Copies of this chain bind each other. A is one copy, B any other.
């Protein structure tokens, strides 16, 4: 029965995204933080997904997730309800989405309950959802579970205390540059990253989009890498979650989180993120092969050699 225990559990949004970028507009595509994370991590590890959708969520989406080896027992499908929908655009700046409409629908009543097998997973990724829900999930896992969290500016502004409590109860915090600055009030990302370590985490990862990512660790550990440059960005939606999926997926697969593992995980995350932006939704990852990932990793390593 141990084959049914995921190696990493992700809790987050499952959505239908309508996105406009310079490359065009696409309607009701598969999206959401948990989806982008799970698809990305599935190239390296066995993922258990926790989320909620309505019965308008196309069966083909579930089939696709399952085809990637993702365990969807934690995906709750609510009859007569509608899936969370997000509509946004990237017109002036591919680094910053403008939200046009957020219809929470079934997501408004999300109270994640983990299937029993999931609670035995050795690693947990708390994708961007309300800190109260992240705490609710943390409470369902044993303290031995290695916990990584993401967040967004909304929670920093609205539920800062609960978010701080999440930070105190995880081992790795992943944020983007704007969130790190907003949360700490520091302009310098170096100062901000170091400040985050005061929560007692092993590492704080700061994503900088097209400018790469940095990791701060206890005892002065520091790593920083550029992004893998993508000539034609089609849709950046989900790039951060795809990065996190590559990063945490690697840690999950190697079963370690020492400095060497974190350095390698950072490269995986950056490479996975670079694939995500090359097409709408997670479409590029639908055809992505392990050989392509390994080739890009080699190119990335040569680039920074």
Q: Which residues of A contact B (CB under 8 A)?
A: 188-191, 208, 211-212, 214, 222-226, 229-232, 263, 303-305
- How far is B220's CA from A130's CA once the two chains are assembled, in angstroms? 45
Min CB–CB distance A176 → chain B (angstroms): 15
Knowing A211-B211, A214-B229, say if A223 contacts B305 (CB, 8 Å): yes
Knowing A188-B232, A231-B190, A304-B304, say if A225 contacts B226 (CB, 8 Å): yes
B contact residues around A303 at 8 Å (CB): 222-224
28 contacts between A and B (CB under 8 A): A188-B229, A188-B231, A188-B232, A189-B229, A190-B229, A190-B230, A190-B231, A191-B231, A208-B211, A211-B211, A211-B212, A211-B226, A212-B212, A212-B226, A214-B229, A222-B303, A223-B303, A223-B304, A223-B305, A224-B226, A224-B229, A224-B303, A224-B304, A225-B226, A225-B304, A226-B226, A263-B305, A304-B304
- How far is B191's CA from A211's CA once the two chains are assembled, in angstroms? 16
Chain multiplicity (copies): 2
Name the residue of chain B whose CB is nearest to the CB of A208.
Answer: B211
- How far is B219's CA from A73's CA once the two chains are assembled, in angstroms? 50
B contact residues around A212 at 8 Å (CB): 211-212, 226
B contact residues around A211 at 8 Å (CB): 208, 211-212, 226
Min CB–CB distance A234 → chain B (angstroms): 12
In order of increasing CB-CB distance, the 8 nearest A-B pairs are: A190-B231, A211-B211, A226-B226, A224-B226, A190-B229, A188-B231, A224-B303, A304-B304
- How far is B299's CA from A223's CA once the two chains are assembled, in angstroms? 10
Min CB–CB distance A278 → chain B (angstroms): 13
B contact residues around A226 at 8 Å (CB): 211-212, 224-226
B contact residues around A190 at 8 Å (CB): 229-231
Name the residue of chain B whose CB is nearest to the CB of A266.
Answer: B304
- How far is B222's CA from A191's CA once the two chains are assembled, in angstroms? 31
Min CB–CB distance A73 → chain B (angstroms): 40
B contact residues around A222 at 8 Å (CB): 303
Min CB–CB distance A271 → chain B (angstroms): 13
B contact residues around A188 at 8 Å (CB): 229, 231-232
- How far is B229's CA from A208's CA once the two chains are assembled, in angstroms? 13
Min CB–CB distance A231 → chain B (angstroms): 4
Min CB–CB distance A185 → chain B (angstroms): 15
B contact residues around A263 at 8 Å (CB): 305
Name the residue of chain B whose CB is nearest to the CB of A193.
Answer: B229
